[in-house]
Structure 1
Amino acid sequence: MKEKLALVLSGGGALGMAHLGVLQALKENNIVPDMVVGTSIGALVGGVYCAGIPLERIVEEAQKVKTSNLYDVNLDLSGLLSGRSALRTIKNILGNQDYLIENLPIKYGAVAVDIAKGEQVLFTQGSLLNAIRASISVPGIFVPLKIGNTRYVDGGVLNNLPEDQARNMGADKVLSVYLLSDFTPFTTPKTAVHSIAFSWFIMQNELVKNKKCYADYRINLPLKDYRQYIFNKKVATELISIGYTETIKHMEEIKKALDIE
């Protein structure tokens, strides 16, 4: 029986554009995952990919995203940004429709956190838009997503690189992509948003470093020269290129680790 391959995509804000380059490299080498599991931007990229949106279209739309397009100030105290603009961007990539996760052509899981219980939640069914929106809800930045009586925040609070969840979903082989392996806050925070963002990524990186690796191969992308909160075409293009180049560079090692000939 063919072994089930999972692709795991970490969170990392705007650095997640590099995931698209990884997907391009895998496609060129005829490596198609049986499932994709992601956190935050990894859940977003993984979700639109699993929905069957052509990779070329995803890249095209990703290059249109600007930081200013994601800013929609929230007037209550639950988060600085409402998340409505981010949701519109995701809807646009999906062709202004929602999908049921259980009906996607590629199996999918998105990690979020039930903020009241302090527990991970793995979305494997229901609304794809809700799963993505829950997983990208960085505490203090985006308003938590409320579904029923439960409020969800970014899965990176507990699990920014959900390799273990891929195993729980039945993966025999796991290839993961980590965006923050060489993260350093190379500037002094100038705003409250910067302070929250830097603190957030420092915390996420420490959690991953101190957690068991469940992947057969982990791609650690060298992205320390890029900021996690800057979205524009130039940066997106460069990040996609890095994701592609690094994956191609390690392709033989990847294939060996995954038992792919």
Structure 2
Amino acid sequence: MSRRAIVIGGGGVLGGTWAVGALSALEKELGITASDADLLVGTSAGSVLAALIACGVTTEELSQHYGEEKVTSGPLLGYEWNPVRATGGSRPGWPRILRPGSPKLFGSGLLKLGELPITAVLSGLLPPGAKSLERVGHLVDAVSPLGEWAQSPSGTHPDVWVVAMDYETGKRAVFGRAGAPIASLSEAVMASCAIPGWFSPIKIGARTYIDGGAVSATSVDVLSHEGFDEVYVIAPMSLTQSDHPKSLTAKLERQWRGVVSRTAANEIADVVAGGSRVFLASPTATDLTVMGTNLMDSTRRKIVLDTSLRTSPRTWSEQLVG
């Protein structure tokens, strides 16, 4: 039987919402159910999805949760969720302290440019985010054993790796992997979601962590030597094709997506070189138009999900890599 891994990248509220549509299409079109994977790897918004799936939440229940419907069954039944309150709105807010959040990361990063991604280095320059991820942690705690790792009602679930970044060194921390720092599932997810300059960094043990997307939006390459037969990559920050927007903000955002797409392609090449077949799903031009440039605008969740449910089936069939 094939060993499968599913990688779910970051992309804010709307990137996570788009990813739910991609997960649903993966199940309906290719017969690949996320909960049947051997491993889930989640970064930022993708870590929330990976955690929920590992704790027994189905793609149908995710679609209800992210599509602003009542969840009718499963671990999220009856759970009250307000995305605006959970993320603190669509703007980062004024920082409590106007100083670099991690001078050591920024200073040492400048001395070794090329070893660390520029996004990791610049995250040390931004002031510490002021908004709290407490409600995101509460969501994860509601479906997982308090203070522990993942456990689904059936007693079986995929392994889960959650990617964050050490706020001092700029190195990735892959929680859940052998040898990783010890953390509860909710702690790891909050760390992975701590967007620099937006959310407060998360302290786990003696170290402080922020969004793993500061290193890589997908972190596919953590699977380079893991020997999986198939890897399915859901990359909300990449793009299949541009929608050629007219506004300067949107043009810059699409250029950044191009950078993310090239990084993901390089990471995928490493995994393919190790013998894995890799399938990649990224937003289409239609998705990009609907998502806009503010991926934290939770008021657009339903239209983004509905669009992804329409576009993702074809995306999966066309995005075979390797």
TM-score, normalized by length of structure 2? 0.65
Deviation at 1:110?
1.1
Match of 2:119 in 1: none
The answer to whether structure 1 residue 241 and structure 2 residue 240 are counterparts is no
CA RMSD of aligned residues (A): 3.3
Q: Of 157, 164, 186, which aligns to 1:105?
A: 157
8 A Cα contact 1:51 1:99, kept in partner: no
Give aligned pairs, total: 244
Q: CA deviation at 1:53?
A: 1.6
* Paired residues for 1:5-16 under 5 Å: 5-14=4-13, 15-16=15-16
The answer on 1:221 being equivalent to 2:271 is: no
> For residues 41 and 121 of structure 1, what CA distance do their matches in structure 2 show?
16
1:158 is matched with 215
Q: Is the 1:37–1:166 contact (alpha carbons within 8 Å) kept by the matching residues of 2?
A: no
2:130 corresponds in structure 1 to: 80
- Residue 176 and residue 124 in structure 1: after superposition, are their counterparts in 2 closer, same or farther (change >3 A)? same
Against the structure 1 CA distance between its residues 224 and 70, is the aligned structure 2 distance closer, same or farther, given a 3 Å change threshold? same
Normalised by the length of structure 1, the TM-score is 0.78
In structure 2, what residue type is equivalent to 1:174? V
Change in Cα spacing, 1:91 to 1:213, as seen in structure 2 (3 Å) is same
SS of the counterpart of 2:295? coil
**1:178 Cα offset (Å):** 1.6
Q: 1:100 is aligned with what amino acid?
A: W
Q: Which residue of 2 aligns with 1:70?
A: 87
Q: What SS does structure 2 have at the residue aligned with 1:224?
A: helix
Larger relative contact order (CA 8 Å, sep ≥ 6): 1
Shift of 1:71: 1.5
Match of 1:119 among 155, 168, 171: 171
Residue matched to 1:26: 26
Deviation (angstroms), 1:105: 0.7
> Alpha-carbon deviation of 1:157?
0.7
1:54 to 1:217, Cα distance in 2 relative to 1, 3 A: closer
CA deviation profile, 1:81-108 (whole Å, cap 9, x unmatched): 122233334445x278554148861111
Once the two structures are TM-superposed, the CA of residue 246 in structure 1 deviates from its matched residue by 2.7
Q: Is the 8 A contact 2:192 2:210 kept in 1?
A: yes
Asked which structure has the greater CA Rg, the reply is 2
Q: Which runs of 5+ in 2 are unaligned?
A: 69-80, 98-127, 178-182, 272-277
> Does residue 143 of structure 1 match 2:216?
no
Cα shift at 1:210: 3.9
Aligned to 2:62: 58
Q: Does the aligned pair in 2 maintain the 1:8–1:166 contact within 8 Å?
A: no
Residue 9 of structure 1 and its aligned partner are, at CA, apart by 1.1
Percent identity, aligned pairs only, is 20
Per-residue displacement from partner, 1:184-227 (whole Å, max 9, x unpaired)?
997678xxxxxxxx88x976762542451416221121232213
CA contact (8 A) 2:19 2:234 kept: yes
| Gap change, CA 1:239 and 1:110, over 3 Å in 2 | same
Partner in structure 2 of residue 206 of structure 1: 259
